[in-house]
Amino acid sequence: MKKIRKAVFPVAGLGTRMLPAAKTVAKEMLTVVDRPLIHYVLAEARAAGIEHFVLVTGRGKTAMEDYFDHSVELEATLKAKNKTALLDELLADLPKEGEISYVRQMEPKGLGHAVWCARDIIGDEPFAVLLPDMIMDATPGCTAQMIAAYEQTGGSNIVVVEPCPPGMAHQYGIVALDGQSGRLNPMTGMVEKPAAGTEPSNLFISGRYLLQPEVFDILSTQERGAGNEIQLTDAMLKMLAGGSPFHALEYDGTTYDCGDKLGWLRANVAMALKRPDLRGVREMIGEELRR
């Protein structure tokens, strides 16, 4: 069983649900409290022991390359002003040189295509995929839980799932399981947006995967599917059909889907409430509700 060393972060989408901001600010650079979405997700991967981060970027996404690099003028100014704690925090958050790579998806052809764009950097080893618009608030982090599941299953592909709000299954990708006991179960299939009442389980696919590299061979010939996009789900279904084991992991934590406005606002409130340096938040929200 190979170690999980690398993670792919697809960040090349258009983010249409976050317009107008997403017109000039990459969705993944929108802040939750005081740090961009991509910051949370990269930190989750790093805490799980990931050694190499591959960002699949596109036009208008270069701010992320600057974010994960030195800002020489800013660092000099912080040093001159003796703001060493702030400076140390900024420096500690930077990936080490050579730990981060960027590949360009020249057209947002879908999540499957974005993952495929990382094939040469990933090579012939299993890897994690983290969707940066999903903040998974968990201890240990969702990626760490996923790697533990990978090890427990002896190297299965892993799809992180979570229970669907009642009556909402028709909006999600839903997994089919071979029996259900505990949080880690063998998967037999996946259905995108099943018609109401036909869903094979109440568990939907959220934004984290561990995949064996054979997914790249399948993606290289993959046709466009739902939404006219090259879908990762379709490639995973082909792997399943070809006999690759998949397990669904119901991780222990809370997900904030920051890909739409309400979810992003909720994440801001939730993360602010957890911050000891922002003690006035609860009171502030109360005041706004009474207005």
Name the residues that contact ligand UTP, by CB under 6 A: 10-17, 27-28, 56, 105, 108-111, 113-114, 131-133, 259
The β-bridge relationship of strands 127-130 and 6-10 is parallel
Closest among 153, 145, 170 to 250, alpha carbons compared: 145
Cβ neighbour number for residue 290 with a 10 Å cutoff: 6
Rounded-to-integer distance, Cα 181 and Cα 267, Å? 30
Report the residue number, 6 or 27, with the smaller CB distance to ligand UTP.
27
Taking the complex as a whole, the smallest distance from the CB of residue 182 to ligand UTP amounts, in Å, to 28
Report the residue number, 55 or 78, with the smaller CB distance to ligand UTP.
55
Report the residue number, 74 or 168, with the smaller CB distance to ligand UTP.
168
Helix (H) or strand (E) holding 36: strand 35-36
The tokens describing 271, both together, are: 């993360």
Taking the complex as a whole, the smallest distance from the CB of residue 78 to ligand UTP amounts, in Å, to 30
Taking the complex as a whole, the smallest distance from the CB of residue 114 to ligand UTP amounts, in Å, to 4
* SS3 call for 118: coil
Taking the complex as a whole, the smallest distance from the CB of residue 291 to ligand UTP amounts, in Å, to 30
Taking the complex as a whole, the smallest distance from the CB of residue 37 to ligand UTP amounts, in Å, to 8
Report the residue number, 27 or 247, with the smaller CB distance to ligand UTP.
27
Can you name the residues that pair with 190 across neighbouring β-strands? 175
Residue facing ligand UTP at closest CB distance:
13
End-to-end CA distance of the chain: 58
Report the residue number, 39 or 113, with the smaller CB distance to ligand UTP.
113
